[in-house]
Amino acid sequence: NIYIYDKIIKESIVMWEDIYMLSNNTKFNLLLGDNFNKLVSLPTKQVIMRSILSVIDRDFIVSSNNSSLAELVQKLLDKVLNEKQEIVDIISDLFSMENKSDLSFYKEIFDSDMFSSIITTNFDYTLEENFLNLIKINTPFDMNNDESGKIAFYKIYGDYKDKDIDKFVLSSQDIKRIKVLGFYAKFWEKLRIEFNKRATIILGANLEDKEFLDILDFIIAKTNRLQPIYLYAGEEVDRLLTDKDIISFINKYSIEIIKGENKEFIANLKEKFFGEKKTDRLQTTYLYINDEIDKYMADKNITNFINKYSIEIIKGEAKDFIPNLKERFFDEKKSGDALQNFA
């Protein structure tokens, strides 16, 4: 549609907002795995394990080579080599040293407005420290009943900063406790509802971490209306698909693999799920109007809208509409690619 009269600018804003929202109304759960920390310059569980092992007896290190972090911590506790608080202190020191996390990936995730929930098995406090006003936090120990439109943030292993050390899940026994005891059933029920309501995208998963697969299996095995699950991964996933346990897990839940570079994560999701409706497929949007636009630009709502969608203004009289367009797009560019949107 071509509108050349400045009197309908405000009415057009409502229409354009509707078009934009209709093309972006699908939302997902985002499940972040251990390798996501690499993308935001934070310690992974492998780094945490190395830090713990650096202060442990060498013979014990050899016997713990194939352990997960939870298994390693359990062995330390069972052998009374460390108290849980000592291990928590190591983790706390490690994250405090790595305090320059890269927020750009998170910003892109929030700006995309594609996710209703973020679920993680990671320990970091990046979201709490930088995006607290955008999230509502849930852990097995503290549920959030906020009904606002904030993104639900599920921190499965709780908080290492909590004064109550039992509210941080670290050892194999801790994991078993939150799975089995009835105190935590409402947390898992609420989390499973998210998997029932919308599709889930897994990003940064370490598929070789059996602990991660076990906790994910525990969550989704008991969902009764499970929506599709997608694993976003790079080409390295091909190597992992030779592992029968990983293949079995992927097949069990019909997980679809989306291959792509991490830096193109949001763009690739838009390409896959929104297709032709994806608004960033549109070229520049132009507003053709006469000099009276200047008075409208004093209205902050109009200015915000124009800036939001990077609308370029072409000034001209209505009677000169076609000649002005020809001069603007064909005399200079001489191209048939000037397929733009005019308002």
What pLDDT score was predicted for residue 311?
87
202 closest CA partner among 180, 227, 239: 227
What pLDDT score was predicted for residue 102?
82
Query: Could you tell me which residues are beta bridge partners of residue 231?
Result: 202, 257
What pLDDT score was predicted for residue 80?
75
| Tens digit of pLDDT at every position of the chain (343 positions) | 444 445 555 556 545 544 444 444 579 999 999 999 998 989 999 999 999 888 776 565 545 567 899 999 998 898 877 889 999 999 999 888 756 778 899 999 999 999 999 999 999 999 999 999 999 999 999 999 888 889 999 999 999 998 899 999 999 999 999 999 999 999 999 999 999 999 999 999 999 999 999 999 999 999 989 999 999 999 889 998 899 999 999 999 999 999 999 989 999 999 898 874 444 445 678 888 888 888 888 887 788 788 777 788 888 888 889 988 888 888 654 444 444 555 5
Count of Cβ atoms closer than 10 Å to residue 4 Cβ: 16
> Can you tell me the distance from the alpha carbon of 302 to that of 220, in angstroms, rounded to the nearest whole number?
45
> Can you tell me the distance from the alpha carbon of 24 to that of 134, in angstroms, rounded to the nearest whole number?
19
DSSP 7-24: GGHHHHHHHHHHHHHHTT
Half-sphere exposure (Cβ direction) of 87: Cα atoms closer than 13 Å: 26
What pLDDT score was predicted for residue 4?
45
Backbone angles phi, psi at 78, to 5 degrees: -65, -35
Q: Which residue type occupies 197?
A: K
> Can you tell me the distance from the alpha carbon of 286 to that of 305, in angstroms, rounded to the nearest whole number?
13
